[in-house]
A and B are shown apart, each in its own frame.
Chain A
Amino acid sequence: MVRYFWLIPLLPGASALLLLLLGPRLSRRWISWQACLTVFLSFALSLAGFVHLVRAGHGSSGLAKTLLPWIASGSFSAAISFAFDELAAVMALVVTGVGLLIHVYSVGYMAADRAYSRYFAYLNLFTFFMLVLVLASDIVLMFVGWEGVGLCSYLLIGFWFERPAASKAGMKAFIVNRIGDAAFIVGVLFLLVNVGSSSFAAINAAPAAGVLGPGLVTLVAILLFVGATGKSAQIPLYVWLPDAMEGPTPVSALIHAATMVTAGVYMVCRLSGLFAASQAASSVVAWVGGLTAVFAATIALVQHDIKRVLAYSTISQIGYMFLGCGVGAYAAGMFHLVTHAFFKSLLFLAAGSVIHALGGEQDMRRMGGLKKALPTTFPVFLVGALAIAGVPFLSGFFSKDAILTSAFAGGHYVLYALGLSGAVLTALYMFRLIYMTFYGQTRATHPAGTAPHVHESPPVMTVPLVVLAVFSALAGFAGLPVLLGEKANWIGGFLEAVLEPAAHHLALSTEVGLILAATAAALAGIAMAFVFYRKRPDLPERTARSFPGIYRLLVGKYYVDEAYDAVVVRPLVRGAETVYARFDLGVIDGALDGSAAAAASAGKGLNVLQSGLVRDYALAFLLGAILFLGVLLL
């Protein structure tokens, strides 16, 4: 069975193809089953592979399979070949597992939608590309998945393309991603030309082998990381993710929380050999991550759209992952990726259930008091919130702590501080959300004036929530802090086979201190949220009024979109329009038509000379003759 691991991506791919070709002709029932079943099979295969790897223990080189030689020309060659090692196994499990749950959830969530088959086709297609990205053993092939998930993200964000906002968001996502990808391509070109191979093995080995000079390593790493900032929505290319919330909520959960947006982190871990080799590049990664973590969190504080809060929270959490990778704790980064996949998709799906319950309402100012109305959704949401806030013994607590610890251990105290303050903010905005949504009086206003009929979602939606809640709660135990023993951090050990091991270790006392600090941060955040949004609901307004500047800045999301629009987009378009009118039509065509006109007017002149008078003709004759004779004589 393990031998067929290469089917993991192909199964959803086949399903997608089938749905795209004859989707409309199939019954919804069939579609749902086909879509979910194929993903389930991939999940099963991944699980099998995972188990196989665990059994094989260390030193197992993992599984590899070359399907077909793809592009080969001269000194360039890239094959379609998959590899299934520890890193891929973990990621594949996340993708297929969470993916499966979200497929199931979607069956309920999208039940009413017209383009049911198209939705699942896209979802399957995404799963396919994501798995290609994960399993690729070759950076060019990874790029196929990389771009493919981008495409699916475009398609799914713009799923309701009749909505201008949706199609605009989709386009924005794709183009912003493409900007990152351009840098990514350049990085890949450097690798191909200098390393002479596109396989990850060769690339990770290159710095050590000295094929790649230190300067080049840094350059390449940074170029690739720019690509990652696009895909994983980090500063400066994060702007597409909040808008991406225009897509259906399950999509936000799967693509824009659990899997695709973390592809950047995965890529960095894949190339940990390369990144680890460059101190400069690593610190760039760390700093971008750290800053993004806090930056996004601050914006999340003041958002009113429940999904946008989660979106900014995602950006911030991915910031943590990069922070981890940047300080050399790749395992920690991956660990947080996993836990985040659970609790963030949980939060999104739960939010989706809320929105579903309120008939599409997303503005938290019109929610509140839903605790009773949503007996399943509320508790699972709470679990997710606690997990992300980093309350002890829930998954988020361990993974975030692992990152902060190694940041501190690496001596990056500023980054550590950033991370810690980020943790406070995280707790704050999450519980702001909780209180605004579930507590207090309902502020729901309905067009009909009557309170909307709030209803809990059907089991096909709630069951996945519960499952995810369980994982969000317990997944942390896969990576306990080292102070509980060498083997405690199981996942770290598991991934060590592939990833660069985290360098430093700390004294027990320090570790304990850090853990306490993290806990304190989380609780502080929650407390603040309690005070602001439960005890003294008037406080927020007052604070806002006392710091109007800051408040407006936050509400305006630091006006980054506006800045980009003013500095990049509009000048580009206006400039192009001017050049088109002035140069293309004006100068070039002007020159052409001008020369034509010149010829015509020359002709006109000749026609005027052709006066019809014999005398003129004779004169021309005579002058010509005289000229000619002159030439002959001189």
Chain B
Amino acid sequence: MIPPAAFLLLSAVLFSLGVLAFFVKKDLLTQFMAVEVMLNASNLAFLAMAKASGQAAGQVIVLFVITVAAAEAVIGLAIIVLIFRQRRTIRTDELKDLRG
């Protein structure tokens, strides 16, 4: 039986990886995927906790989070498409008309 702490640790690592990816990746799409990784890290944590404390709530949350992620993805992709239409690129660093 693996202690919940391990899951927690794993999720933390995952989350950090997501953050890391968010920084190293250079285009909107992959950066958003990095965010997805972070969200799923949280999901993992939730599940572990739910298991440990035997609360169903934790598992329900995961569903919510997934749904939300999906919704975000929809809007996000729409925006990314919009950006691509206008600029023929989705490199994040190109987005610097607004500054200063």
Answer whether A and B touch in the complex at a CB cut-off of 8 Å.
Answer: yes
* Contacting residues, chain B, for A608 (C-beta < 8 A): 100
Asked if B23 and A612 make an inter-chain contact with CB atoms under 8 angstroms apart, the answer reads: no
Asked if A613 and B96 make an inter-chain contact with CB atoms under 8 angstroms apart, the answer reads: yes
Q: Does A622 contact B (CB under 8 A)?
A: yes
Asked if A611 and B99 make an inter-chain contact with CB atoms under 8 angstroms apart, the answer reads: yes
Q: Does A614 contact B (CB under 8 A)?
A: yes
Asked if A612 and B97 make an inter-chain contact with CB atoms under 8 angstroms apart, the answer reads: yes
Q: Which residues of chain B (12-52) have a CB below 8 Å from chain A?
A: 19, 22-23, 31
Asked if A615 and B23 make an inter-chain contact with CB atoms under 8 angstroms apart, the answer reads: yes
Question: Which chain B residue lies CB-closest to A622?
Answer: B19
In the complex, A607 Cα to B22 Cα: how many Å? 24
**Given A618-B23, A619-B23, A622-B19, A612-B92 contact (CB < 8 Å):** no
Asked if B99 and A615 make an inter-chain contact with CB atoms under 8 angstroms apart, the answer reads: no
Q: Does A610 contact B (CB under 8 A)?
A: yes
In the complex, A325 Cα to B31 Cα: how many Å? 105
Count contacts between A and B, CB distance < 8 Å. Answer: 27
Question: Which chain B residue lies CB-closest to A604?
Answer: B100
Asked if B99 and A612 make an inter-chain contact with CB atoms under 8 angstroms apart, the answer reads: yes
In the complex, A619 Cα to B23 Cα: how many Å? 8
* Contacting residues, chain A, for B23 (C-beta < 8 A): 615, 618-619, 622
* Contacting residues, chain B, for A614 (C-beta < 8 A): 31, 92, 95
* Contacting residues, chain B, for A610 (C-beta < 8 A): 99-100
Instruction: State the Cβ distance, B71 to closest chain A Cβ, in Å.
Output: 21
Interface residues on B, range: 10 to 19
Question: Which chain A residue lies CB-closest to B100?
Answer: A607
In the complex, A607 Cα to B99 Cα: how many Å? 8
In the complex, A608 Cα to B99 Cα: how many Å? 8
Total contacting residues, chain A, CB less than 8 A: 11
Q: Which of B22, B31, B98 contacts A612 (CB 8 A)?
A: B98
Instruction: State the Cβ distance, A606 to closest chain B Cβ, in Å.
Output: 9
B50-88, CB under 8 A of A: which get 1 and which 0?
Answer: 000000000000000000000000000000000000000
**Given A610-B99, A610-B100, A615-B92 contact (CB < 8 Å):** yes
Instruction: State the Cβ distance, B69 to closest chain A Cβ, in Å.
Output: 18
In the complex, A614 Cα to B23 Cα: how many Å? 9
Question: Which chain A residue lies CB-closest to B98?
Answer: A612
In the complex, A224 Cα to B97 Cα: how many Å? 80
Asked if A613 and B93 make an inter-chain contact with CB atoms under 8 angstroms apart, the answer reads: yes
Asked if B96 and A611 make an inter-chain contact with CB atoms under 8 angstroms apart, the answer reads: yes
A607-630, CB under 8 A of B: which get 1 and which 0?
Answer: 110111111001100100000000
Residue of B19, B93, B100 contacting most chain A CB atoms (<10 Å)? B100
* Contacting residues, chain B, for A613 (C-beta < 8 A): 92-93, 95-96
* Contacting residues, chain B, for A615 (C-beta < 8 A): 23, 92-93
Instruction: State the Cβ distance, A605 to closest chain B Cβ, in Å.
Output: 11
* Contacting residues, chain A, for B22 (C-beta < 8 A): 618
Question: Which chain A residue lies CB-closest to B25?
Answer: A615
Residue of A608, A610, A615 contacting most chain B CB atoms (<10 Å)? A615
* Contacting residues, chain B, for A612 (C-beta < 8 A): 95-100
In the complex, A614 Cα to B80 Cα: how many Å? 14
* Contacting residues, chain B, for A607 (C-beta < 8 A): 100
In the complex, A615 Cα to B96 Cα: how many Å? 11
* Contacting residues, chain A, for B93 (C-beta < 8 A): 613, 615
In the complex, A472 Cα to B55 Cα: how many Å? 129
* Contacting residues, chain A, for B92 (C-beta < 8 A): 613-615
Instruction: State the Cβ distance, A519 to closest chain B Cβ, in Å.
Output: 100
Question: Which chain A residue lies CB-closest to B31?
Answer: A614
27 A-B pairs (CB sep. < 8 Å): A607-B100, A608-B100, A610-B99, A610-B100, A611-B96, A611-B99, A612-B95, A612-B96, A612-B97, A612-B98, A612-B99, A612-B100, A613-B92, A613-B93, A613-B95, A613-B96, A614-B31, A614-B92, A614-B95, A615-B23, A615-B92, A615-B93, A618-B22, A618-B23, A619-B23, A622-B19, A622-B23
Closest 10 pairs (CB-CB, A-B): A612-B99, A612-B96, A607-B100, A614-B92, A610-B100, A612-B98, A613-B93, A610-B99, A611-B99, A613-B96
Q: A610-B100, A612-B97, A615-B23 are known contacts; what are 10 more A-B pairs with Cβ within 8 Å?
A: A608-B100, A611-B99, A612-B96, A612-B100, A613-B92, A613-B93, A614-B31, A615-B93, A619-B23, A622-B23
